[in-house]
Each structure stands twice: as C-alpha cells, then as structure tokens.
Amino acid sequence: MNTSYRQFFLASAVLLSLSPSQGVMAADKVTTAIDDARQESQIWTSYALNPYLRGNDLKVTVQNGKAVLTGKVDEKVNKELATEIAKGVSGITDVDNQIVVEANYLPHYGGDSYGDKIDDASISAAIRSKLQWNKDVDSVGTEVSTKSGRVTLTGSADTQASKDIANRLAMNTRGVTSVTNNLKIRSSPMTSEEKASLKATEESHNISDSWITTKVKSSFMYSSNITGSDIDVSTNNGIVTLTGKVNSGVERSLAIEIAQNIRGVKSVQSKALLF
C-alpha cells in the first residue's frame, strides 16, 4: 500500500478512537499542518519564479502561520522583497526574515532552475501562438524550443519570407535573448491535408471578432516592444480598431503591423492610437 494512504488510514483510525473533544483538537492540528505546508509551497514557488530571487538558495518553513526565511542574498532589497512576498500569502500572520545579506554572495543563475524552465516554456508557448495566429506564416511543421531565453526554430517554411517573419516574431517576444532559425524552405508545397487544416482554421477565425480581439491583445502582451496594456482593441466584422496611447511613432507602427498580420483581420483603424 502506498505510504501516504497508510498514513491517511492511520490518522483516520486515530481520530475515530479519540473522544469528540480530542478528535476536534486532532483534526484542527491536521488542518493547521496542511495550511502550513500549502503556505510554504506557495512562498517557495513565488521565490522560484521571481527573477530576482530564483538564483538564491532560500529556504522557507511555516508553523501556525509564521514564516521563517533563511538563506543568502547579495542585496538588502532582495531580502526585503522576500519578506513582502511572504507577507502577501494568505494565512501568513508573521514573517521572521533571517536571510543574510552578503555583498560578495553570487546567486546561481544556471538556467536549470524551476523558474527558468517555466520562463522558457512560456516563451515557447507564446511564439507558437504568434506563429499560429499570423496570416503570413505557415506554422505547420514548425517546432519551437527555448533554453535560457535562447530560441531555436526547426522544421519547414513555405518561403524565405515566411522564414524571416517567423524569425522576427520570435525575436520580438518578451524574454527572448537570441533566435537560431533552422527552418528549411520546403522543396515541395504543403499537402492537401495541411492546406485544408490551415484553411479551416482561418475560416473559423474569420467569423469570430472576439477571437481576433483576443489574439491582437495577446500579441501586444507578448511583444517586447509594445506597452499593450495602454492600447484598447475592438473588432467589428474583421475590422480592428486601436485606441489609446503609445510611447513613440515606432511603437505605433509596430502595433498596427502586428494587428494587420493576425489571421482574419481585414483592416486596422488606428486614428485614435496616439503618442
């Protein structure tokens, strides 16, 4: 029998053998222990995902809602950040920050941490989505892999232009530091099945204004050169309207270009997009 199941049945048997008052107290202890474990996990995961803390060997223990933090960081501001993150976890009532600040301490950013892997997976997913949404790129047969922000594209493209656009979409994605484009130009056209799949996808998307709006907004969010939160997007019969403010004419032009390249977009109205 699995160890966790044996422990569960044992705990259940103990609870059943106790008096009502003793049973309530024991149940409360179990609930508290579960809460402590959940809070420990939540704090540690937040540290693992945070770009300023993930390289530090930080440890977290929680007992009765009190979090004790230990380990080393190279700057005081990172110690303070660790405290604020722990305080923000539901159920944490007190934080004892015993983290030591050492100016000569070197955090380890080897690219193999949990947070780094999550970042790389997110980058790959964003690029795959952008390739799929773009009307000028055939995403069939394109593979995307990311390691420490370095993206590699493999597979095939219909034309050199499609290959170049895929490269640009990848390079303009948040978190990407470099792109190795190993896409090969197809020596023969797509099969009828591949063409049918792309056509069916595009036709289904053409009739959905909400789909277009969502993909334009997501493309802005993924782009490293656009402050997408300041741009409002609406779509009516495939016509996209952009309103809001951008930081420069270059950013405005890029936002218009990104919107125009989304599958199903007929035209882009941008008179209300100012800088």
Mean pLDDT calculated for residue range 102-111: 76
Q: Where in the chain do CATH 3.30.1340.30 domains reside? A: 28-108
| CATH code of domain 114-190 | 3.30.1340
Which of 3-17, 58-72, 115-129, 135-149 is the most confident on average?
58-72
Predicted local confidence at residue 223, as pLDDT: 86
Which of 30-44, 50-64, 77-91, 108-122 is the most confident on average?
77-91
Res. 105: pLDDT tops 90: no
Mean pLDDT calculated for residue range 77-98: 93
Distances (CA, A) of 49 to 40, 45, 46: 14, 6, 5
Range in 28-32, 79-83, 98-102, 258-262 the model is least confident about: 28-32
Residue listed under structure tokens 């080897």 = 110
Structural domain 28-108, CATH architecture: 2-Layer Sandwich (3.30)
Is pLDDT larger for residue 191 or for residue 22? 191
Mean pLDDT calculated for residue range 156-175: 89
For residue 103, the SS3 value is coil
Question: Which residues are 67's β-sheet partners?
Answer: 62, 95
Distances (CA, A) of 165 to 75, 105, 127, 177: 41, 42, 12, 17
Mean pLDDT calculated for residue range 114-143: 82
Identify the CA nearest to 208 among candidates 229, 238, 239, 232: 238
Predicted local confidence at residue 4, as pLDDT: 46
pLDDT-derived band at 241, boundaries 50, 70, 90: very high
Beta strands at 94-97 and 66-70: parallel, antiparallel or unpaired = parallel
**Which residues 6+ apart lie within 8 Å of 122 measured at CB?**
175
Res. 67: pLDDT tops 50: yes
pLDDT-derived band at 141, boundaries 50, 70, 90: low
| Ramachandran class of 47: left when φ > 0, alpha when ψ lies in -120 to 50, beta otherwise | alpha
Res. 71: pLDDT tops 90: yes
Mean pLDDT calculated for residue range 106-113: 69
Neighbouring CB atoms inside 10 A of 240's CB total 23
Structural domain 201-274, CATH architecture: 2-Layer Sandwich (3.30)
Give the single-character DSSP code of 99: P
Beta strands at 59-63 and 66-70: parallel, antiparallel or unpaired = antiparallel
Predicted local confidence at residue 43, as pLDDT: 92
Mean pLDDT calculated for residue range 186-196: 68
Predicted local confidence at residue 221, as pLDDT: 85
Res. 192: pLDDT tops 90: no
pLDDT-derived band at 186, boundaries 50, 70, 90: confident
Contact 137, 159 (CB under 8 A): no
Maximum CA extent, the chain: 79
Identify the CA nearest to 54 among candidates 76, 78, 28: 78
- Cα distance between residue 25 and residue 19, in whole Å: 10
- Cα distance between residue 235 and residue 208, in whole Å: 9
pTM above 0.85, yes or no: no
